[in-house]
Amino acid sequence: MEEPSVVQQTCNLNSPRHIIFEKYEMGRLLGQGTFAKVYYGKNLITNEGVAIKVINKDNVKKEGLIEQIKREISVMRLVRHPNVVELKEVMATKAKIFFVMEYVKGGELFAKVAKGKLKEDLARKYFQQLVSAIDFCHSRGVSHRDLKPENLLLDDNEDLKVSDFGLSALPEQLWNDGLLHTQCGTPAYVAPEVLRKKGYDGAKADIWSCGVILFVLLAGYLPFQADNLMKMYRKVFKAEFEFPQWFSTDAKQLISQLLVSDPAKRISIPEIMQNPWFQKGFVKPIPLSIQEPVGDQNDEKDEKSMSPRFYNAFELISSMSSGFDLSSLFECKKKSGSMFTSKCSASAIVTRLQAVASRLNFSVTSVKDFKVKMEGKMDGRKGKLAVTAEVFEVAPEVAVVELSKSAGDTLEYKKLCEEEVRPALKDIVWSWQGESNCHQL
């Protein structure tokens, strides 16, 4: 069975060029894990290099990892920071999920440390960037839970980028005691409270891991070493380690406050940032905005020259496919609405929506950024019914239109959609959400 037409040569990796969604060219394999492969890619519009992680949906379902994938997407949308690998977009076909991420070509920090200890100033720079990134993650309610040099990448400017949020945790994973209870992470970097299986604060556990990483950067080896795992765990539980002689007094003091077995007595991130050793040459990075704000009604941009917001193909396919619904990750809240695809241009769809509004005796209150807002002239059970229709671009010849109720009675809205709107738009609709032919996109 062929993949959807928005994907060309997506999975035929033996063809000369591998173009996905008419937007990215897939190149060499960068690495692979149990459930995913990562390829180098190029944005055909901007020529920007990207990393594309390809995940097989069947494998994810079979192994029960749907929630983990959803969480990773949700987390990466939350933590846009200069020192975190950026998730640019997520797309999907019926068989595969594509994470398009920032390409960080400098490789893992682990490769640099494997050659030996770093100079103190360089170690401090990486530690500052790590703590800044984790501080931002924590401010968004995200705990990484698998911090280690292998998950820290370096870009062209030798700046650090935190990656791999597959084991990260969000506030909704907390138990009634306000703690996390899932054991995860890499043994040499895991906090003692995680190993004890009694619940832990994910943020404090991340701080312990940061302490282990700082020790490794300065020493070139791990602080807790033993000839078997159980002996190593005993050392971790007791925070039993020794400093090399070349560590500075200030560095020793900070690490001694980071690697404290009792999380209640462990230093906090604000305290780390006030530490004299940490403060040296520190410039706090500015977090990236999650989404550009929409202008007000007086925005003087030439709307005719603008394009509709790109509607991520992942949103379309996942929201229209049963059994793997990830649409909640792309909405602030659930709306009462319906959705259809069309092969008409965005401007043609907007013109048609305005005509339909007039025919239904609705007033068009706003037309902006390919979003049409309309309101009924008569009061219903809950006041005037207000409807918003927004047009999104999927591909050059495919658009998605999302209708939602802004105000009024839900039953009246549903009746309007079924009895009036659908028949009025039938000649421009390719498929409605939930209908069997929608998978032929």
| Residue 251 belongs to domain with CATH number | 1.10.510.10
How far, in Å, CA of 171 to CA of 374, rounded?
Answer: 37
Question: What is the chain's mean pLDDT, rounded?
Answer: 78
In this prediction, residues 90-112 reach a mean pLDDT of 87
Say whether pLDDT at 377 is over 90: no
How far, in Å, CA of 251 to CA of 28, rounded?
Answer: 41
Candidates 58, 135, 146, 227; catalytic one: 146
Say whether pLDDT at 350 is over 60: yes
In this prediction, residues 133-161 reach a mean pLDDT of 89
pLDDT at 199: 80
Say whether pLDDT at 142 is over 50: yes
How far, in Å, CA of 145 to CA of 359, rounded?
Answer: 56
How far, in Å, CA of 122 to CA of 318, rounded?
Answer: 44
pLDDT confidence band for 312 (50 / 70 / 90): low
Residues 49 and 154 in one domain: no
pLDDT in tens, 261-274: 999 999 999 999 99
Contact 307, 393 (CB under 8 A): yes
Look at phi and psi of residue 428 and say left if phi exceeds 0, alpha if psi is from -120 to 50, else beta: alpha
In this prediction, residues 213-230 reach a mean pLDDT of 91
Domain membership flag for residue 208: yes
Say whether pLDDT at 192 is over 60: yes
Domain membership flag for residue 314: no
Which two three-digit tokens encode residue 161?
Answer: 């980028």
pLDDT in tens, 107-131: 889 888 888 999 999 999 999 999 9
For a pLDDT cut of 70, what percent of the chain falls above it?
77
Which two three-digit tokens encode residue 183?
Answer: 């054991």
> Which segments within 123-164 are labelled E, that is strand?
152-154, 160-162
Say whether pLDDT at 195 is over 50: yes
Say whether pLDDT at 2 is over 60: no
Describe the chain by its helix, strand, coil percentages, rounded to 5. 35, 25, 40
pLDDT at 134: 93
Say whether pLDDT at 395 is over 70: no
Using DSSP bridges, classify how beta strands 24-32 and 36-43 pair: parallel, antiparallel or unpaired.
Answer: antiparallel
Residues 191 and 45 in one domain: no
Say whether pLDDT at 1 is over 70: no
Domain membership flag for residue 286: no
Residues 256 and 140 in one domain: yes
pLDDT at 16: 63
Q: Please give the residue that has the higher pLDDT: either 295 or 211.
A: 211
Helix 249-258 with 202-219: angle, nearest 10 deg: 150
The residues, any chain, with a CB within 8 Å of residue 2's CB and separated by 6 or more, are none
Domain membership flag for residue 8: no
Contact 127, 119 (CB under 8 A): no
Say whether pLDDT at 316 is over 90: no
Residues 152 and 267 in one domain: yes
How many other CB atoms are found less than 10 A from the CB of residue 110? Answer: 14
In Å, how far from its chain's centre is CA 50?
A: 15
Domain membership flag for residue 227: yes
> Which segments within 139-220 are labelled E, that is strand?
152-154, 160-162
pLDDT in tens, 28-51: 998 877 778 889 999 999 999 999
How far, in Å, CA of 426 to CA of 14, rounded?
Answer: 41
Full DSSP string of 254-281: HHHHHS-SSGGGSPPHHHHHHSHHHHTT
| Burial status of residue 182 (CB atoms within 10 A of its CB: 0-12, 13-18, 19 or more) | middle
In this prediction, residues 401-427 reach a mean pLDDT of 86
Residues 209 and 352 in one domain: no
Total count of residues recorded for the chain: 441
How far, in Å, CA of 386 to CA of 404, rounded?
Answer: 9
Residues 118 and 239 in one domain: yes
Contact 320, 377 (CB under 8 A): no
Overall domain count for the chain: 3
Domain membership flag for residue 431: yes
How far, in Å, CA of 121 to CA of 109, rounded?
Answer: 15
Residues 185 and 214 in one domain: yes
Contact 120, 248 (CB under 8 A): yes
How far, in Å, CA of 114 to CA of 118, rounded?
Answer: 10
pTM of the model: 0.64
Domain membership flag for residue 329: no
pLDDT at 264: 94
Domain range for 143: 109-274
Binding residues, by number, are 53
Give which of 215, 86, 71, 192 is closest to 143, Cα–Cα: 71
Residues 119 and 260 in one domain: yes
Residues 90 and 117 in one domain: no
In this prediction, residues 53-71 reach a mean pLDDT of 79
pLDDT in tens, 327-345: 443 443 444 457 787 878 8
How far, in Å, CA of 262 to CA of 67, rounded?
Answer: 31
Concerning whether 146 is annotated as a catalytic residue, the answer is yes
Which two three-digit tokens encode residue 290?
Answer: 């999650």
Residues 126 and 236 in one domain: yes
How many other CB atoms are found less than 10 A from the CB of residue 434? Answer: 11
Binding residues for ATP, by number, are 53
Q: How far apart are the first and last CA of the chain?
A: 13
Domain membership flag for residue 326: no
How far, in Å, CA of 156 to CA of 103, rounded?
Answer: 10
